Amino acid sequence: YYILFVSSKMVIIYFYTKKIYNYIQIIWRILGTIKKTIFITLFCLAISLSAFGQENYAKLADSLRYVTEIPYIENCKDTVFWKIVSKGKPIVPYLIDKMTDTRKLKKVYVRFFSGEYTVADVAYVAIQEIIADIPTFELLGVPFDEECGYCSYWYHVRKSKKNRKNFQKDVGKWYEENKDHLIWIESYHSVTSDCFIVPTRGRYILQKDENTTY
């Protein structure tokens, strides 16, 4: 009787142990599925947020056409322009994309050189406000004119779309080669104009070392 009693107890223990083990396996599988679901959800959310951010930068860069004042002496408060500039390095690739956009900004005239600014021109001014050390005339492939200043820039970019395209390509190449060497400095001054207090409160400059190209 004792042996039968012990045997039956062992059978019962084995039965419940196996049942508990099966329950644990089921719970583990459920947790695994939940983990996978959470991971997939978070992954998809990250992609969506990234795409949303990129889309916003693209739309913001496209809003260049609504700029009404280019920074110059008293023209220092265009909200669209400075909102774009305030985005800093992340928006630079989208501004470079706009450097061949020849749509004209109505009644936004280039001082001293006549004609209206294009979206491409304003995009580059914004890039200059973000990155102070970008070598404009080196990338443009024409010398700075000591007599008329920036006239060589305007003559060159207005001469042909090919010139704008080449300039865009060289600016993009320079940025990709140097973007990791850009450091932020605080400043209240505009890079391209006489504006004394600018909303961005700073700009990027190039930290020169043996790896930089300028």
pLDDT of residue 49: 42
Compute the distance between CA of residue 172 and CA of residue 21 in angstroms, rounded to an integer: 61
Residue with tokens 């060159």: 156
pLDDT tens-digit profile of 117-157?
999 999 999 999 999 989 999 999 999 888 888 889 999 99
What tokens appear for 185 in the block?
A: 């400095």
Number of other residues whose CB lies within 10 A of the CB of residue 147: 6
pLDDT of residue 213: 53
Compute the distance between CA of residue 13 and CA of residue 195 in angstroms, rounded to an integer: 85
pLDDT tens-digit profile of 149-170?
888 999 999 999 999 999 999 9
Q: Which segments in the chain show pLDDT lower than 70? A: 1-19, 21, 28, 33-55, 73-74, 209-214
Whether the CB-CB separation of 110 and 135 falls below 8 Å is answered with no
pLDDT of residue 95: 97
What tokens appear for 17 in the block?
A: 């142990």
Compute the distance between CA of residue 177 and CA of residue 200 in angstroms, rounded to an integer: 24
Three-class SS string for the chain? CHHHHHHHHHHHHHHHHHHHHHHHHHHHHHHHHHHHHHHHHHHHHHHHHHHHHHHHHHHHHHHHHHCCCCCECCECCCHHHHHHHCCCHHHHHHHHHHHHCCCEEEEEECCCCCCEEEHHHHHHHHHHHHECCCCHHHHHCCCCECCCECHHHHHHHHHCHHHHHHHHHHHHHHHHHHHHHEEEEECCCCCCCCCCCCCCCEEEEECCCCCCCC
Whole-angstrom Cα Rg for the chain: 31
